[in-house]
Amino acid sequence: MKNKFSTIAIITFSSIVTIWSCSKHPVMPSHSSLYLNIKYLIDDALLELDTIKYTNEAGNTYSVSKLEYFISNISLKKSDGTVYKSKKIQYVNAAKEKSNQIFLDSISPGTYTELSFIIGLSAEQNVSNSLPSIPENNNMYWPDHMGGGYHFMKFEGHFNDTTATPGYAIHLGKTAYAVKIKIAKQIKLTLRNQKQTLSMNLNEWFKNPNVFDLTGGNNYTMSNDSLMNVISKNGVDVFTLPDK
Amino acid sequence: MQILKNTLYMATAVAVAFLFFSCRKKKADKAPDDAYVPTPYNIQYPSYFPAMHIAEDNPLTVEGVELGRKLYYDPLLSKGGPNDGKSCSSCHIQQYGFTLPNSIVLPHINLGFNSNFSWKGAVSGTMEDMMKFEVEEFFAATPANFQQHAEYPTLFKRVFGSETITHKELAYALAQFFRTMISSNSRFDKYLRKELQLTPSELNGFMIFNTEKGDCFHCHTVGLFTDNQFHNIGLDSVFTGGNQGRTEITGMPTDLGKFKTSTLRNVALRNSFMHDGRFTTLAQVIDHYNTGVKKSNTLDPIMTKPGKEFGLQLNALEKADLIAFLNALTDESFITNPSLSKP
């Protein structure tokens, strides 16, 4: 009777050990992750595609029909100089919500004081056929006959001219015109996933430091270095990190 | 005491064995001996094509592609059946690049890389979605015709593991074949592979195509020679009836006059261009871009470049060079490939 009891006890104990050993252990995260959700504004109003109702600094009334670009070289900096760098190159399309969510993981927890990234690609990245061959990347290619690499941005729409509504196509490419964004902001990252809105004010492309007037033949920038230069400089402050 | 020890040893042995067996991954249930396992199909295409989307529930197999090819050429697919019906191949003839001369029928070329189908984008999604539309609506196929056929139930079983044939299996088999209809062996492809040099005229045409001079590249992305999107290229300034384009599908006024960018691969085999076949030669097409663009509120912004508001302004030699380049996109091996021909 005693032996029988012992046997049952041992088997029960062994079974518990077995079940415990095969179960998945909850893994405690040791790193932070950050979701950047991109929103588009025209000053205080949320962007509505394909409606001619926005007014820029030059007084042009315009619409937005297409806004595609790359975000790359994302980094977060702590006040002690520690830097988190992401290798992610994200194709973003204002019309496709999913592409506007940038997920950054394996970030060391702590308080960061600066977010920086490039609208476009670095010199090493801006090489023809170097990005994964998917339709989105392929449709952004910058012809080899014009220097190769990729479009950094395609920003298109229509505007009211004196007698008509011609189109505009603000295309940015060539490594020199990559837009370097640097935003000072305290971002506290704990071991939980954190969300942060990243807002682009499209009217900022048209001002500061230079007023960009779509009329007068400025409505097409590709292969026009001086226009791309203006857009690149204006683009430095298109993004902000709002509190909410 | 000895009995207790023995019991302990035995219990430990049982626990270890239990631990071993319980932690092992279970082997998949063995397939019955009579089950047919289809042979995976190794699809190949150039690195300058985008990655092909292949549905997880419809992997390419040798047997599936072969069945799709048989269906492509079989009038049994049509509602009218074999006596008065039509097959895909009735309007998509291989020697013309899988289109029909003197018609607006879009060619079946590299569609496995597309996600928008037909001139106005009546169907968007996967190749399976497109084929379901063809089978269920365009052909209104009757699965029972295939179910009662002497060969088809066996062929479908070899592909899908069941003799039951529905619209879904018909569409999936066709989708497999469509994905193999790849054209990537033109003179231009051989030039990219460094197998030949293009003529000076073709090279100049490529330069015109691939720069702001002709500005063809923005929509006819090099590789597939389509961006798979919709554009108003200034064919009309007033849009009525079938000329309304993408608006007829989306209801959006901003889509007025927009049509899908058609591929330029094998374009020289055609004699009908644009959604309504209004042009019959490549020279007429280029003349449109050169001098015939009509203004409207939805005209593609790319086509309102300062200095070229009234067209590209190419001279006769430049137009000829551009046509020479377009001719270099003809793929002779595609239009004679026996694996795409009637079985």
Residue A81 CB neighbours (<10 A): 6
Q: Can you give the length of chain A in residues? A: 244
Q: B197-232 b/e with 16+ CB inside 10 Å = b?
A: ebeebbbbbbbbbbbbbbbbbbbbbbbbbbbbbbbb
In three-state secondary structure terms, B219 is coil
Token pair for A45: 């109003």
For chain A, the structural domain boundaries read: 31-240
CA distance B209 to B201: 12
Q: What is the pLDDT of residue A12?
A: 58
Tens-digit pLDDT profile for residues B102-135: 999 999 999 999 999 999 999 999 999 999 999 9
Phi, psi values for residue A102, rounded to 5°: -105, 120
| CB of B334 closer than 8 Å to CB of B189 | no
Q: Which domains does chain B possess?
A: 62-182 (1.10.760.10), 187-333 (1.10.760.10)
Q: A174's torsion region: left (phi>0), alpha (psi -120 to 50) or beta?
A: left
Q: CB burial class (10 A; 0-12, 13-18, 19+) of residue A199?
A: middle
CA distance B9 to B47: 62
Tens-digit pLDDT profile for residues B262-304: 999 999 999 999 999 999 999 999 999 999 999 999 999 999 8
Contacts of A10 in chain B (CB under 8 A): 7-8, 11-12, 15
A178-182, B10-14, B297-301: lowest mean pLDDT where? B10-14
Residue B42 neighbours by CB under 8 Å, 6+ apart: none
Model confidence at A183: pLDDT above 80: yes
Please name the residue of chain A whose CA is at the shortest distance from the CA of residue B252: A50
Residue B292 CB neighbours (<10 A): 15
Q: Which of A212, A169, A172 is nearest to A64 (CA)?
A: A169
| Residues in chain A whose Cβ is within 8 Å of chain B | 2-3, 6-7, 10-11, 14-15, 17-19, 21-22, 50, 65-66, 129, 132-135, 137-139, 141, 143-146, 156-158, 164-169, 217-220, 222-223
What is the ipTM score, two decimals? 0.86
pTM for the whole structure: 0.87
